Amino acid sequence: MLKKAGLVLQIAATFIGTIVGAGFASGREVIQFFTRFGSWGTAGVLFSGLLMALIGTRLMLYARRIHAGSFDVLIVRVFGVRTGLVIHSLVFLIIFGVNGVMLAGSGAVFQEQLGWNRWLGMGLSIVLSLFFIVKKARGLLWVNSLVVPVLTLFLIILFIHEGGRPPQSPAPWQSGWMLSAFAYAAFNLSTALVVFVPLASEVKSERVLVAGGLVGGAGFTVLLLIAHQLILAHPGVMLYDMPTAELVRPVGAAMHLAFTAVIFGEILTTYVGNIFGLSRQLSNVFPSVLPGWRAVAVLIVGSAAVGIAGYSALIRVLYPFYGFLCMFLLICLSFVRIPER
């Protein structure tokens, strides 16, 4: 019984860790999809969290039933080879764009939170990413497993420090909150399937898989709700690239510096993981043109070109656009028929 409970928690932690990215850690993603709608964003958080928990769990169950070991297998099974290739290319481009956002985010951390040059932060991210790729990402899993619990702890401490107080007054009706919440769920689930599908194939018990998915979805919803409420109670931080770091600043210099390091760690793990995965895909598709390090170089140069635009601007433009692109994919996957055991 204890072993099953532990496995449920592991699946839940992976669920949360896969969806929680640098955009969430910084708070910009939360503002873009939820907090800008005022108190109606709270309804959006609950709606989006419910979608991710139910549809994410359902898709993991589907992947397990059809014995899909990778995202590619699931997409081809649902859409066929030609459409599957288009969707796979779309997801590749989305993750490539996210890489540019991550690099811009590392620059924003250094410029806004530390008062240093943004190019120093971007350059350091590139150097560290090359180091981890040379080491074949050894140590990266340790960093990733540390970031999410620490981020969770910080959010809980902030929430307790604030007394869990709600915003001063409810906002008037804001149209578009539900569409934005759906776009958020679509964007996050579409990219998270790359991890969810192979995870599902490794879990022997369907009950454990379902329980883990639902617990993970519920846990992420709670974190999202806390972040949204904290920002909503302090609307002034919405003007910053790293609003959650600004929430921590009044608590003390040491806490602020530690939280800034957590955000940078989340950015770095996302960036390195994406470069590592995308470079392999490029090398497989173009083995003679983009082998190994050449593919890595192309991805880093490309992400730097995208990152010039700036962190807040990229999230404001790219993330909603990606969300709307992924809506069709999520709707189709939501209605796929799960085979019998």
pLDDT at residue 20 tops 70: yes
- Phi/psi zone of residue 139: left (φ > 0), alpha (ψ -120 to 50 degrees), beta? left
Q: Is 333 exposed, middle or buried (0-12, 13-18, 19+ CB in 10 A)?
A: buried
pLDDT band for 273, please (50, 70, 90 cuts).
confident
Could you tell me which residue, 242 or 166, shows the higher pLDDT? 242
In this structure, what token pair is assigned to residue 63? 């992947």
Whole-number Å distance between alpha carbons of 300 and 137: 16
Q: Give Rg (Cα) of the chain.
A: 19
In this structure, what token pair is assigned to residue 27? 């708070």
CA atoms within 13 A on the CB side of 65: 16
306 close to 100: Cβ distance less than 8 angstroms: yes
20 close to 192: Cβ distance less than 8 angstroms: no
Question: Which one-letter amino acid corresponds to residue 142?
Answer: W
CA-CA-CA-CA torsion sign (252, 235, 189, 134): negative
Any alpha helices (H) in the chain, and if so which ranges? 2-19, 22-26, 28-33, 40-65, 71-79, 81-108, 118-134, 140-161, 177-202, 206-233, 243-248, 253-285, 292-307, 311-334
Q: What does the pLDDT look like over 180-232, one tens digit per residue?
A: 999 999 999 988 887 788 888 888 888 888 898 999 999 999 999 999 999 98
In this structure, what token pair is assigned to residue 37? 């709608």
**What does the domain layout of the chain look like in residue ranges?**
2-164+177-334
Residue 88 is predicted with a pLDDT of 83
CA-CA-CA-CA torsion sign (51, 321, 177, 106): positive
In this structure, what token pair is assigned to residue 337? 């028929």
213 close to 79: Cβ distance less than 8 angstroms: no
In this structure, what token pair is assigned to residue 148? 């999410």
Give the three-class secondary structure for 138.
coil
pLDDT at residue 341 tops 80: no
Query: What's the CA angle centered on 80, arms 52 and 213, to 5 degrees?
Result: 20
Q: Please, what is the average pLDDT of the chain?
A: 84
Residue 283 is predicted with a pLDDT of 80
Second CATH level (architecture) for the domain 2-164+177-334? Orthogonal Bundle (1.10)
Whole-number Å distance between alpha carbons of 274 and 144: 13
Q: How many residues does the chain have?
A: 341
